[in-house]
């Protein structure tokens, strides 16, 4: 004969459920992450407020993908900060084509390739700022990151070209770096938006840029935004990778980010227990 388990008289339903967590615990965890945790429920569904928040986040991510980059406005901001700015386009003629044909976003427009070859060459480094999948990220974070990089890197920034590219993907930096005779190219690009990060910026470093470079020959710094890796911290890591790549003569999987080990104790970031 089966008998019901004995439950102490003072036990709450929550106490008998091993999967239950007190609401105040979820609230504390929510303070450390933008992830959707502890959302609650209304019957078998999510609460209406959470459904609406999800819809808003999804709309912001879609808007970030389709938001057009204004290269002239961005060039004006960077020029005001003292940078040498150029513009170019990929072979993708418009946004719908760019999203359907990634290969065209990786290739530089033929006329722009010819024009860049007649520009003053890069002293050593060329920087490409491409809209990628989030022009929002580029507009918000590229200027502050470049200013922070200039403060941490000894490059000749007055003559270093900043090439702003519409409808560009990471590999478009290779023909640009080759055209400008750069030893190394840095690509700042909007990353694929997430539901909690429509403005995430990615950074790619490629030594000896030229068409045909593989992704394994690049170094990447990802999730650059105030809620992720701050532009100032990203600039410090980027400066380290650039100096090491120029010194060693390569980038990619062979080049490790040992920037944390290079910090003095006073420079090391705080670590929470």
Residue 194: CA atoms inside 13 Å, Cβ hemisphere, count? Answer: 13
Q: What pTM did the predictor assign?
A: 0.82
- Establish if 272 belongs to a structural domain: no
Is residue 193 predicted with pLDDT exceeding 60? yes
- Establish if 240 belongs to a structural domain: yes
- Establish if 8 belongs to a structural domain: no
* CATH number of the domain bearing residue 186: 3.40.50.11240
- Establish if 210 belongs to a structural domain: yes
Range of the domain at 226: 84-248
- Establish if 140 belongs to a structural domain: yes
Question: Comparing 74-78, 87-91, 195-199, 269-273, which segment has the lowest mean pLDDT?
Answer: 269-273
- Let me know: does 151 contact 145? Beta carbons within 8 Å: no
Is residue 1 predicted with pLDDT exceeding 70? no
Distance in angstroms (rounded) separating the CA atoms of residues 97 and 76: 27
Q: How do residues 150-173 score in pLDDT, each as one tens digit?
A: 999 888 999 999 999 999 999 999
Question: What is the per-residue pLDDT for 264?
Answer: 54
- Establish if 40 belongs to a structural domain: no
- Establish if 183 belongs to a structural domain: yes
Three-class secondary structure of residue 181 per DSSP: coil
Question: Comparing 179-183, 214-218, 259-263, which segment has the lowest mean pLDDT?
Answer: 259-263
Q: How many domains does the chain have?
A: 1
Nearest CA-CA partner of 140 in 87, 70, 208, 92 = 70
Residues ≥6 apart with Cβ < 8 Å to 59: none
Question: What is the per-residue pLDDT for 161?
Answer: 97
- Establish if 72 belongs to a structural domain: no
Question: What is the per-residue pLDDT for 50?
Answer: 87
Question: Comparing 24-28, 102-106, 108-112, 154-158, which segment has the lowest mean pLDDT?
Answer: 24-28
Mean per-residue pLDDT over the chain, rounded: 88
Question: What is the per-residue pLDDT for 194?
Answer: 85
């Amino acid at each position: 004969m089966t008998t019901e388990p004995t439950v102490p008289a003072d036990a709450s339903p929550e106490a008998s459920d091993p999967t239950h967590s007190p609401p105040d615990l979820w609230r504390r965890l929510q303070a450390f992450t933008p992830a959707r945790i502890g959302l609650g429920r209304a019957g078998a569904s999510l609460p209406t407020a959470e459904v609406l928040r999800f819809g808003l986040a999804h709309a912001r991510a879609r808007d970030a993908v389709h938001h057009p980059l204004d290269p002239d406005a961005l060039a004006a901001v960077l020029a005001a900060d003292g940078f040498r700015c150029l513009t170019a386009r990929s072979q993708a003629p418009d946004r719908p084509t760019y999203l359907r044909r990634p290969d065209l976003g990786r290739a530089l427009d033929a006329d722009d390739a010819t024009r860049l070859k007649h520009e003053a060459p890069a002293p050593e480094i060329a920087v490409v700022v491409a809209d990628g999948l989030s022009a929002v990220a580029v507009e918000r974070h590229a200027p502050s990151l470049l200013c922070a990089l200039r403060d941490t890197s000894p490059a000749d920034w007055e003559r270093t070209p900043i090439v702003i590219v519409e409808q560009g993907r990471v590999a478009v930096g290779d023909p640009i770096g080759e055209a400008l005779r750069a030893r190394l190219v840095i690509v700042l690009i909007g990353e694929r938006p997430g539901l909690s990060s429509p403005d995430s910026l990615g950074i790619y470093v490629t030594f000896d840029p030229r068409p045909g470079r593989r992704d394994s020959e690049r170094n990447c710094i990802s999730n650059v935004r105030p809620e992720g890796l701050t532009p100032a911290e990203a600039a410090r890591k980027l400066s380290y990778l650039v100096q090491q790549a120029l010194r060693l003569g390569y980038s990619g999987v062979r080049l490790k980010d040992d920037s944390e080990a290079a910090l003095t104790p006073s420079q090391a970031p705080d670590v929470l227990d």
